Amino acid sequence: MSLESIYTIMGVAPEVSRFCLETEDSLKERFAEIDRIAEVNQLKVLKAFQDNNVSEACMTGTTGYGHNDIGRDTLESVYASVFHTESALVRSQITCGTHALSIALNGILRPGDELLSPVGKPYDTLESIIGIRPACGSLKEYGITYRQADLLPDGSFDYDVIRNSINEKTKLVTIQRSKGYQTRPTFSVSQIGELIGFIRSIKPEVYIMVDNCYGELVEEIEPSDVGADLVVGSLIKNPGGGLAPIGGYIAGKQELIDRCAIRLTTAGLGKDVGASLDVNRLLYQGLFLAPTVTASAEKGAIFAANVYERLGYKCVPNATESRHDIIQSIVLGSPEAMIAFCKGIQKAAPVDSFVAPEPYPMAGYHCDVIMAAGNFIQGSSIELSADGPIEEPYAIYFQGGLTWYHAKFGIIMSLNEMVNAGIIKL
């Protein structure tokens, strides 16, 4: 049976599947390079497992206090090896990427310190943590100030403003690698390294943290390889490989990881407590699969850009640019187009494919947001998903796909819904 016939059975119009399959044919060389990087990262992860003597005993968990949890402690050593850092904190008690970032910020900063973002506005959910948006328990409440240097119109760093923003109070610099809900470029590890070098030339002792969400294992190196003191992320994104049911990681210098661990638990206990329960095997297995799962998601993002750019939509990154995370931004131009796109993604899901996503006010965001995700793990954006704020320029953010074939089908279904809604004519 031909692919086009199977797509017809799955509810896809023949002209949609033909358009998408033609697009796919032009991407073989791009995909081959992604597969090469995935192989490099697969071997890097494998070596980290072997160097840290991962054993069958590591797959079991603990309860209660979690003292002497060999699986938890070894996993943290594996993460430190993957990211080439002195230490790591990898815990199921870290509820999400935002929580991991909050732990790091609160672990390092003290009253009178200042936090600097040299890459403009942070992701929406950090605004309450910092105090940009008033919230109980924000850094601002504790006398920690915040300053940001906006990017230049082309998305590059404004080095003059960054230089003038660094002062005697600047304790921590936070660099968001991915775009968040912005249509700016994602930064490559090389670009982050250049920014870190510039900041160090002005204030060598400042701590530098990178929000690494969505960027892990996309390149051969990580921000910790180019001078970042901390890299932070979520286990229900790239490094969890679609198997981690919850969790986050912080990898970096030993002294900073110790401070983060105290913030997660309490003074005097730090990393010594925190039962892993029954999730160790999933966290190990997810990390082991992460290079190939991430590669599948990256292929899906490239496919999405090529499909929608052919139809005249602005895509960031565009169809030919290099990739530094798994997110594809597509400026659709209207709420109706965003809703139709998300309906297609939802119809392609293995879970809850029968529901229709609609915009709604979500905690942590400043406006209504639409989200499509029929996932095995709630909120897992390494799985096929799409979301975006219902505001100008009406951009949707597509990411994930545990396999390339599922990511591909998701984009095909999104286009099918756009055609059915009369928004696109092929």
Q: How many CA atoms lie within 13 A of 132 on its CB side?
A: 19
pLDDT at 286: 98
Give the strand order in the sheet containing 328-331. Answer: 314-316, 328-331, 395-399, 385-389, 368-372, 360-361
Task: Evaluate if residue 365 carries a pLDDT over 80.
Answer: no
Same domain as 97, residue 179: yes
Same domain as 63, residue 19: no
Position 184 in a domain: yes
In the predicted model, what is the mean pLDDT of the chain?
Answer: 96
Same domain as 162, residue 99: yes
Same domain as 201, residue 99: yes
pLDDT at 1: 81
What does the CA dihedral 338, 117, 208, 161 come to, rounded to 10 degrees? 130
pLDDT at 106: 98
Of 287, 311, 326, which residue constitutes the final position of a domain? 287
Please report which helix (H) or strand (E) contains residue 386, including its range: strand 385-389
Split at pLDDT 50, 70, 90, the class of 2 is confident
pLDDT at 170: 98
The total number of structural domains in the chain stands at 2
Same domain as 352, residue 219: no
Of 219, 252, 287, which residue constitutes the final position of a domain? 287
Type of residue found at 70: I
Please report which helix (H) or strand (E) contains residue 315, including its range: strand 314-316
358-384 burial: b if 16+ Cβ within 10 Å, else e: ebeeeeebeeebbbbbbbebebbbbbb
The pLDDT tens digits of the residues spanning 139-157 come to 999 999 999 999 999 999 9
pLDDT at 372: 96
Task: Evaluate if residue 182 carries a pLDDT over 90.
Answer: no
Of 260, 287, 314, which residue constitutes the final position of a domain? 287
Residue with tokens 């995370």: 325
Split at pLDDT 50, 70, 90, the class of 423 is very high
Position 426 in a domain: no
Position 393 in a domain: yes
The pLDDT tens digits of the residues spanning 100-143 come to 999 999 999 999 999 999 999 998 889 999 999 999 999 999 99
Task: Evaluate if residue 183 carries a pLDDT over 90.
Answer: no
Split at pLDDT 50, 70, 90, the class of 184 is confident
SS3 content of the chain, % helix, strand, coil (to 5): 45, 15, 40
Same domain as 210, residue 102: yes
The pLDDT tens digits of the residues spanning 286-299 come to 999 999 999 999 99
Q: Which structural domain range is residue 163 located in?
A: 44-287
pLDDT at 363: 73
Is the pLDDT higher at 365 or at 415? 415
The pLDDT tens digits of the residues spanning 297-329 come to 999 999 999 999 999 999 999 999 999 999 999
Please state the separation of Cα 1 from the chain's center in Å. 37
pLDDT at 124: 86
Q: How many CA atoms lie within 13 A of 275 on its CB side?
A: 8
Same domain as 119, residue 9: no
Same domain as 112, residue 185: yes
Task: Evaluate if residue 248 carries a pLDDT over 90.
Answer: yes
pLDDT at 416: 98
> What CATH number has the domain bearing residue 7?
3.90.1150.60
Average pLDDT (264-274) is 97
What share of the chain in percent tops pLDDT 70?
100
Q: CA 125 to CA 119: how far, in whole Å? A: 16
Query: For the whole model, what pTM was predicted?
Result: 0.95
pLDDT at 342: 98
Same domain as 324, residue 276: no
Same domain as 51, residue 35: no
> What CATH number has the domain bearing residue 164?
3.40.640.10
Position 425 in a domain: no
pLDDT at 258: 98
Q: CA 364 to CA 381: how far, in whole Å? A: 17
- Token pair for 36: 């090469």
Same domain as 223, residue 76: yes
pLDDT at 220: 98
pLDDT at 324: 96
The pLDDT tens digits of the residues spanning 22-54 come to 999 999 999 999 999 999 999 999 999 999 999
Split at pLDDT 50, 70, 90, the class of 218 is very high
